[in-house]
Amino acid sequence: MRDGIYKKKLDELLAVCRKNLRSVNEELITRAFEFSLEAHKNDMRASGDPFFNHPYEVAMVVAREIPLDDVSIASALLHDVAEDTEYEIKDIREEFGDVIADIVDGATKISDIFRSHEITQAESYRKMLLSMVNDIRVMLLKFADRLHNMRTLEYLPKEKQVRMARETLEIYTPFAHRFGLAKIKWELEDLAFKYLHPEEYDDVARQVKAKRKEREAYIKKFVKPVEKCLQEDGMKFEIEGRPKHLFSIYNKMVNRSKPLDEIYDLFAVRIILETENTNDCFTAYGILTSIYIPIPERFKNYISVPKKNGYQSIHATVIGPEGKMVEVQIRTRAMHEIAEKGVAAHWKYKENLSALDEELENWISWVREIFEHADEEAPAKQLMESFKLNLYQDEIYLFTPKGELKILPKGATPVDFAFAVHSNIGLHCLSAKVNGRIVPLDYQLHSGDQVEIITSKSQTPKADWEQFVVTHKAKSHIRRWMKEEERKEIEQGKELWEKRAKKFKLHINDDELLKYLREFKTENLNDFYLKIHRGEIGVDGILQEIDFQIKHKQSEVIREEKSRGIFNRFLDTARSFTGGITLFGSRDSFMHSYARCCNPIPGDEIMGYVTRGEGIKIHRTSCRNFASMASADPSRVVEVGWPLTDGAEYVTAIRISGEDRTGMLNEITHSISSYQNTNIRGVKIDANDSLFEGTILVSVKNKEHLERIIEKLRKIKGVQHAERMVE
């Protein structure tokens, strides 16, 4: 009985292959079938079915929906063997050769692409890309694998259902769209929709089913006069009602805030012409619009300007009977095959397979672009965001002054266009003309625009370019250029420092220099040299200060610093949360320090006082010293402020003391953290006999927040003093 079942399955698979493939090596497919069946004979799926049913169904998807060749079918049958059985890639290589082994190996490497941490994910995408470039069938096999897994998702736990549905919607469906696999994309979207939003899915499905007969009757009424006129014109054609998949309907209901009855493009028709003459599509459009009134702004000509994935068709919307709008697509049979099956149809319609290489290059160039210029030091998150952005973005069609077509993502700017033409043009892009009119470099281009880039040898990328460009090529080139320029500035700054230090007869190694630099709000040497080159800090002033500290470092100063250590650490922590201060709204690009007479911290009202040789001293506005200096020379007073911190919080210190007892520390910390979920950042408590004293660092939203905490602390039994720590 078992042999009979699998003999029937093999016969069905071979029959589909004969129907859809140009040539079939039945012996190869049979051997792969039997090898997989034997390898998986003891394995079961979550549904309780034999595991072999999965590779078999994946092979059937490939044969029906992505019919490339017999190698693809054999690879589909074997795709889980190396991952889930005792057999290895080397066994497949020995039995079936390098091509099939490499496809199976590529599919195996990316099978758990979403299960690891972010950096591993990014590396997995690199492996996936490498596999795609070597053999496009690897990715097509993964589409079929994912489709069957989604079809059988009901047997998995709820948590896994949601995870797989989400990654399917985020990665697989836009990827399938890019590869032109419309039918697979639609089914994946609907299946993901079913598990991510089950209630909404059921509601839309119920409404669509209830309206089915009414919709079919309307389409029949709409089509009848069109069929008659096309026949009279001698055309051979097929007209079908084009079903709208549920996820698409749901999105339109949400985006337009309309019920199902008001979604006009539920009525959709496709006219498929049995012709090789693309002009017949325009003739058919003329016949259609002689019967029904067209809506001009909804006409799209993807025949003259195909989509990046090779899609071609005329899209039109007309006013049908009863004043209802109907979407109509008009295409040839070959265009329809390409629209439904993407790269597989290209393979089928290419007589000279050597020409396929260039076609496939166009198909995957958009994804290779993301990785071929990827900076190895770039954060994995940045790489993944760019990858997903490119998956989701719609395309616009742009032209050079000579009429050359460039396809870019929606939202692209002249700078993106410049880099698309050539990286050197992008790097020296000075300005741009769109349709003969000068536009800003951050201008968003639109389909049909003619773009002329004006360059200058003296022009180089600006830091803000990265904020408005959308293509990865532009972003990566800009980042690389900025990094290289910064490296040059650091070298020049270092050279200047070494010359001045030598003249000053100051000998100091990098580790010692770093200790001093932290006092000047410079965390590393590169930042220090960069600020020197840009003139943001004075070299001589720094040299004088370091020389003075080296020569006058007395034990008294050391003892003083030890006694004030916790307060200084608190000040550094508190101020680090703001990243410095701002002067007239600009970021910290000037030398400054904090006055020790009043020790300002974030949250205090502050002013700056311009000193000689020490930059700007920051004082609290209530500081007596500041008031005295300001009245003596008001011209030196400048307005400064603390930048906003994340969450609008700042760190402050509370000095507390009192009678020690069991549980006192727990009661203190609970009293603080229970008020508005206050975050305690540090505690230092010393106890002596029956008394305690210490300091607590806390994050507060404002002074009122701090005052309420202090009030609560003073109410604790045994607490004698609780106050903000200033000095």
Q: Are 400 and 422 in contact (CB under 8 A)?
A: no
Say yes or no: 212 and 189 in one domain: no
Q: Tens digits of per-residue pLDDT, 371-426? A: 444 444 444 455 445 555 555 456 777 888 887 878 788 889 999 999 988 889 99
Q: Tokens standing for 461?
A: 């990328």
Could you tell me which of 113, 201, 174 has the C-alpha nearest to residue 389? 174
The backbone region for 25, taken as left when phi is positive above 0, alpha when psi lies in -120 to 50, beta otherwise, is beta
Can you give the CATH number for the domain in which 143 is found? 1.10.3210.10
Residue type, 372: E
Q: Are residues 196 and 212 in the same domain?
A: no
Same domain, 507 and 615: no
> What pLDDT shows up at residue 309?
66
What's residue 88's pLDDT?
Answer: 87
Domain boundary among 603, 619, 644: 644
Look at residue 230 in the predicted model and tell me its pLDDT. 92
Residues 6 or more apart in contact with residue 192 via CB below 8 angstroms? 150, 165, 166, 168, 169, 173, 247
Residue written as token pair 């009855």: 261
- Higher pLDDT among residues 342 and 245, named by residue: 245
Q: What percentage of the chain reaches a pLDDT higher than 70? A: 77
Write out the catalytic residue numbers: 83-84
Stretch among 51-60, 125-134, 492-501 having the lowest mean pLDDT: 125-134
The answer to whether 310 and 292 have CB atoms below 8 angstroms apart is: no
Question: Do 657 and 597 share a structural domain?
Answer: no
Rg of the chain over Cα atoms, rounded to whole angstroms, equals: 35
Distance CA 687, CA 661 (A): 10
286 within some domain: yes
pLDDT band at 438, cuts 50/70/90?
very high
pLDDT of residue 199 exceeding 60 = yes
Query: For residues 247 and 58, which has the higher predicted lDDT (pLDDT)?
Result: 58
Q: pLDDT at position 307, please?
A: 77
Is 226 within the bounds of a domain?
yes
Lowest-confidence region among 261-265, 278-282, 691-695? 261-265
pLDDT at 488 over 60: yes
Q: What one-letter code names the amino acid at 505?
A: K
Helical spans, DSSP H, in 577-684:
624-632, 664-673
Angle at 232 between CA 229 and CA 236, to 5 degrees: 90
Least confident of 411-415, 505-509, 607-611: 505-509
Distance from the first to the final alpha carbon of the chain: 90
The pLDDT confidence band at residue 291, using thresholds 50, 70 and 90, is: very high
Residues whose CB falls within 8 Å of the CB of residue 643, separated by 6 or more in sequence, listed in order: 578, 579, 580, 581, 582, 587
Q: Output the six-digit token pair for 386.
A: 């760019």
Measured in whole angstroms, the distance separating CA 114 from the mean position of its chain's CA atoms is 14
What pLDDT is stored for residue 577 in this prediction?
Answer: 54
pLDDT at 554: 42
Which letter does DSSP use for residue 154 in this model? G
pLDDT at 627: 84
Contacts of 403 (CB under 8 A, 6+ apart): none
Q: Tell me which of 301, 333, 349 is where a domain ends.
A: 349
Range of weakest confidence among 344-358, 448-462, 546-560? 344-358
What does pTM read for this prediction?
A: 0.52
Is residue 373, in this structure, part of any structural domain at all?
no
Least reliable range by pLDDT among 231-235, 439-443, 466-470, 660-664: 660-664
Q: Which helix (H) or strand (E) holds 270?
A: strand 268-273
List the domain range (segments joined by +) for residue 333.
Answer: 207-349
What is the rounded CA–CA span in Å between residue 462 and residue 191?
45
Domain termination residue (choose one: 510, 536, 553)? 553
Same domain, yes or no, for 174 and 76? yes
Work out whether the CA dihedral 380, 392, 143, 397 comes out positive or negative: negative
Q: Which two tokens stand for residue 89?
A: 């890639």
Number of Cβ within a 10 Å radius of residue 381: 12
**What is the Cα–Cα distance from 672 to 698, expressed in whole angstroms?**
8
Distance CA 272, CA 261 (A): 27
| DSSP annotation string for 431-456 | EEEETTEEE-TTPPP-TT-BEEEEE-
Least confident of 66-75, 151-160, 185-194, 334-343: 334-343
Higher pLDDT, 713 or 385: 713
Query: Same domain for 194 and 239?
Result: no
* Helices and strands (H and E) in the chain: how many: 32, 21
CATH number at residue 683: 3.30.70.260
Going by the DSSP 8-state scheme, the letter that residue 260 receives in this structure is G
Strands 616-620 and 592-594: parallel
Looking at the domain assignment, is residue 404 inside a domain? Answer: no
The rounded distance, in Å, linking the Cα atoms of 620 and 633 is 17
Work out the pLDDT band at 356, boundaries 50, 70, 90: very low
**476 vs 356, residue with greater confidence:** 476
pLDDT of residue 150: 92
Instruction: Spell out the residues 6+ positions from residue 584 whose beta carbon is closer than 8 angstroms to its own.
Output: 638, 639
Given a cut of 70, is residue 563 above it in pLDDT? no
Q: How many domains does the chain have?
A: 5
Query: Is residue 378 assigned to a domain?
Result: no
pLDDT tens digits for range 127-175: 555 555 456 778 788 889 999 999 988 888 888 889 889 888 877 887 7
Q: How many residues does the chain have?
A: 727
CA atoms of 15 and 59, how far apart (whole Å): 13
Q: Are residues 174 and 34 in the same domain?
A: yes
CB count within 10 Å of CB 315 equals 14
pLDDT of residue 271: 93
* pLDDT given for residue 57 in this prediction: 92
DSSP conformation letters of 73-99: HHHHHHTTHHHHSS--HHHHHHHH-HH
Instruction: Assign 648 a pLDDT band (cuts: 50, 70, 90).
Output: low
Instruction: Say which residues have a Cβ less than 8 Å from residue 634's Cβ, sequence separation at least 6.
Output: none
Q: What span, in angstroms and rounded, lies between the C-alpha atoms of 194 and 250?
A: 11
612's enclosing H/E stretch is none
**Which of 140-144, 286-290, 365-369, 653-657 is predicted with the least confidence, judged by mean pLDDT?**
365-369
* Residue 329 domain-assigned (yes or no): yes
pLDDT at 584: 56
> Span 319-338, mean pLDDT?
88
What is residue 542's predicted lDDT score, i.e. its pLDDT? 73
Q: Residue 637 corresponds to which tokens in the numbers above?
A: 């007073």
Residue in the block written with tokens 């001093």: 516
In a domain, 633, yes or no: yes
Coil, strand or helix at 638 = strand
Q: Measured between alpha carbons, how far is residue 303 from residues 176, 300, 311, 317 in Å?
A: 21, 9, 8, 16
Bridge partners of 432, per DSSP, are 439, 453
- What amino acid is encoded at 98 in this protein? D
CA nearest neighbour of 648 among 698, 603, 597, 711: 603
Q: Are residues 198 and 214 in the same domain?
A: no
pLDDT reported for residue 386: 52
Q: Within 10 A of 362 (CB to CB), how many other CB atoms are there?
A: 13
Q: Which residue has the higher pLDDT, 250 or 33?
A: 33
pLDDT digits (tens, 9 = 90+) for 511-559: 777 777 766 666 677 777 877 777 767 777 677 767 666 665 543 444 4
Please report the pLDDT score of residue 270 as a whole number: 92
215 and 283 housed in the same domain: yes
Residue 10 pLDDT more than 60?
A: yes
**Dihedrals φ, ψ of 644, to 5°?**
-65, 140
Asked whether residue 233 falls in the same domain as residue 320, the answer is: yes
Neighbours of 101 (CB within 10 A): 21
Same domain membership, residue 337 and residue 251: yes
Predicted local confidence at residue 441, as pLDDT: 92
pLDDT(117) > 60: no
Give the pLDDT confidence score for residue 572 in this predicted structure. 60
Higher pLDDT, 453 or 263: 453
Q: What is the mean pLDDT of residues 83-106?
A: 86
Nearest to 566 by CA among 655, 687, 445: 655
55/76 Cα distance (integer angstroms): 6
Residue labelled with tokens 């697979």: 184
Burial of 259 per CB tally in 10 Å (0-12, 13-18, 19+): exposed
Residue 359: its H or E element: helix 356-372
Q: Which alpha helices (DSSP H) does 577-650 contain, by range?
A: 624-632
> What CATH number is given to the structural domain containing 261?
3.30.460.10
356 lies in some domain: no
Summarised one tens digit per residue, pLDDT across range 584-607 is 555 555 677 778 777 777 777 888
* The residue to which tokens 């950042």 are assigned: 681
pLDDT at 99 over 80: yes
Query: How confident is the prediction for the chain on average, in pLDDT?
Result: 78
Is 159 found in the same domain as 58? yes
User: In this model, does residue 74 exceed pLDDT 70?
Assistant: yes
